[in-house]
Amino acid sequence: MSKKLMTLLLALAMLLSLAACGGQQAAAPEATEAPAAAEEPAAADTPAPEPEEAVPATITDPSGAEITVPEDISSIVTLAPSLTEMVVALGCGDAIAACDTQSAGLDGLNPDVPVFDMVNPDMESLAALKPDLLLVSNMSLYDQQDPYQPLIDMGVCVACVPNAESIQGIYDDIAFLGQLLGRTEEADGLAADMRASIDAIAAVGSAIPEEERKSVYFEISAAPYMYSFGSGVYLDEMISLIGAENILADQTGWLSVEGETVVAAAPDVILTNVNYIDDPVGEILGRDGWAGVPAVADGAVYYIDNMASSLPNHNIVTALEQMAQAVYPTYFAR
């Protein structure tokens, strides 16, 4: 399969302030009468030094590009739902002036904001909004070269946050956005809550006896164009954290999958986050030639929330909890 087609399949599956701080001037002490002093010759007039202009901060975004951060960020456009959710979680949802079509309807977002195609946004309409900050992911850069240079030339800060491939990458993205938006305390708290939830699940998962550990196939695109992942993907980490094994862990990255591969691997549990067909669980249970797969024979096929599992941000905790309860209901009882 070509790289472009694999990228498009992945896009289908995965799509399915800076607070202005002003200090108060200290009050002047009450005037008191000073003792008389001998007069001294008047000093020659010396011009007062001119105040230095504030220099905008320059930082490096997660894509490696150097960006200049505006002194005030009051208007933000987000072109990736994972980033929209993080901006809202950091308390800046009110500043979002436009978003991508996949972000429309997310909690904490003004439902009336205009929306854009994240892969091929209308540059003229974006320019007309004149946002202080435009946040994009690597999905927005698909098959395009420097598409945002005109916006950069007109003074828009364009920051690219590629989709994180690991859980640590998600922590790093939260920290970056906290720095960018002047919300470092909120970012620290968001990451701390995420880490605490993951650590609690990992503690249980690591204690599951070896003989009780289950194999898992996680499907993110349904037949006939099945798609999943191997190692080097945060979802693979999540399967390991709950004490299970990804049947495709011997491969790397996002993968197109043949049905025969899954049948031969005989997974104990099948998880799916496919949300573009009416009954993804029923479709898997009824697939020709899959009746002998242990997960299908035992009815151990479960749906995992699509947004929580396909967006690399703090909300993967929700998907992780669902995965744990589906695979090991006894160990992770609600």
Residues 199-250: tens digit of each pLDDT: 999 999 999 999 999 999 999 999 999 999 999 999 999 999 999 999 999 9
Give pLDDT tens digits for 267-304: 999 999 999 999 999 999 999 999 999 999 999 999 99
Band the pLDDT of 1: cuts 50, 70, 90: very low
Give the CA distances from residue 239 to residues 46, 170, 201, 296, 323, in Å, rounded to whole numbers and listed in that order: 71, 16, 11, 19, 8
Q: Is the pLDDT assigned to residue 114 strictly greater than 90?
A: yes
Q: Does pLDDT of 13 surpass 60?
A: no
Report yes or no: 77 and 115 within 8 Å, Cβ to Cβ: no
Q: Note the pLDDT of residue 275.
A: 96
- How does 248-276 read in b/e, with b if 16+ C-beta sit within 10 Å? bbebeebbebeeebbbeeebbbbbbbbee
User: What are the residues facing 69 on neighbouring strands?
Assistant: 57
First to last CA, the chain: 41
Spatial contact of 156 and 135, defined as CB atoms under 8 Å apart: no
CA 286 to chain centre: 34
> Residue-wise over 20-30: b if at least 16 C-beta within 10 A, else e?
eeeeeeeeeee
- 16 pLDDT tier (thresholds 50, 70, 90): very low
Q: Characterize the bridge pairing of strands 133-136 and 157-160.
A: parallel
DSSP per-residue letters across 280-310: HHHHHHT-TT-TTSHHHHTT-EEE--HHHHH
Q: Residues 126-170: pLDDT tens digits? A: 999 999 999 999 888 765 667 898 999 999 999 999 999 999 999
User: How far is Cα 16 from Cα 12, in angstroms, rounded to an integer?
Assistant: 6
Convert the pLDDT of each residue in 41-70 to its tens digit: 444 455 555 444 444 689 999 999 999 999
Q: Delineate the domains of the chain, giving CATH numbers in brackets.
A: 57-163 (3.40.50.1980), 189-327 (3.40.50.1980)
Could you give the CA distance from residue 235 to residue 309 in angstroms, rounded to a whole number? 7
